[in-house]
Chains A and B, each alone.
Chain A
Amino acid sequence: MGLYAEDQEQLYHGPIPYIILLAGAAVAVGAIAAVGIVFSYIGSLGPASFWNNPWVRGIIGAALWAAVVGAGGLYLTLLERKFMARVQVRYGPNRWGPYGLLQPVADALKLMRKEDIIPDAADSLVMRLAPIVAFAPSFMLFAAVPWTATYVASEMDIGVLYIVAVTSLTPIGVLMAGWGPNNKYNLLGAMRFAAQELAYEVPLILAMIGPIAVAQSLNGVAIVEAQAGYWFGFIPKWNIFPQFFGAIIFFVAFMAETGRIPFDIPDAESEVVHGFTAEYSGMKFVMLLLLEYVHLIAGAALFVVLYMGGYLGPSPINQFAWFTLKLLFVILLMMLIRAVWFRVRIDQIMNLGWKILLPAALINVGFIGVFLALTVQ
Chain B
Amino acid sequence: MKEVAADLIMFFIIALVSIFAAVMVMEAEDIFHAALFLALLFTSIAGVYILLTAEFIAAIQILVYGGAVVVLILFAIVLTNRAGKVGEQSLKNLLMRTAAIIGFVALLVQPILKTPWPNEMIETTGLNTYAVGYSLFTDYVIPFEVVSLALLSALIGAVYLSKREVGQ
Q: Does B43 contact A (CB under 8 A)?
A: yes
Taking CB atoms, residues of chain B closer than 8 Å to A175 are 71, 74-75, 78
Query: Distance (Å) between the CB of A198 and the closest chain B CB?
Result: 7
Interface size on B, residues (CB 8 A): 28
Taking CB atoms, residues of chain A closer than 8 Å to B77 are 179
Q: Does A187 contact B (CB under 8 A)?
A: yes
Q: Is the CB of A123 within 8 A of B71?
A: no
In the assembled complex, the Cα of A126 lies from the Cα of B32 at a distance in Å of 9
Interface of B is mostly: helix
Q: Is the CB of B71 within 8 A of A171?
A: yes
Q: Does B150 contact A (CB under 8 A)?
A: no
- B55 touches which of A157, A176, A187, A190 (Cβ 8 Å): A157
Q: Is the CB of A164 within 8 A of B78?
A: no
Would you give the 0/1 interface string for A44-67, flagging 1 where the beta carbon is closer than 8 Å to chain B?
Answer: 000000000000000000000000
A161 and B63 contact, Cβ closer than 8 Å, known pairs A123-B30, A169-B43, A172-B36 = yes
Q: Does A166 contact B (CB under 8 A)?
A: yes
Q: Does B129 contact A (CB under 8 A)?
A: yes
In the assembled complex, the Cα of A187 lies from the Cα of B80 at a distance in Å of 11
Q: Does B60 contact A (CB under 8 A)?
A: yes
Taking CB atoms, residues of chain A closer than 8 Å to B60 are 161, 165
A161-B63, A165-B63, A195-B75 known; 10 new pairs, CB 8 Å cut-off, are: A123-B30, A157-B128, A158-B129, A162-B55, A164-B63, A165-B60, A168-B66, A169-B39, A172-B36, A175-B74
Q: Does B56 contact A (CB under 8 A)?
A: yes
Interface size on A, residues (CB 8 A): 28
A191 and B75 contact, Cβ closer than 8 Å, known pairs A126-B32, A176-B36 = yes
Q: Does B103 contact A (CB under 8 A)?
A: no
Q: Give the contacts of A148-186 with B (CB-CB under 8 A).
A: 156-158, 161-162, 164-166, 168-169, 171-172, 175-176, 178-179, 182
In the assembled complex, the Cα of A162 lies from the Cα of B33 at a distance in Å of 26
Q: Which 7 pairs across A and B sit closest by C-beta, in order of nearness?
A: A168-B67, A165-B63, A165-B62, A165-B59, A161-B59, A175-B74, A171-B71
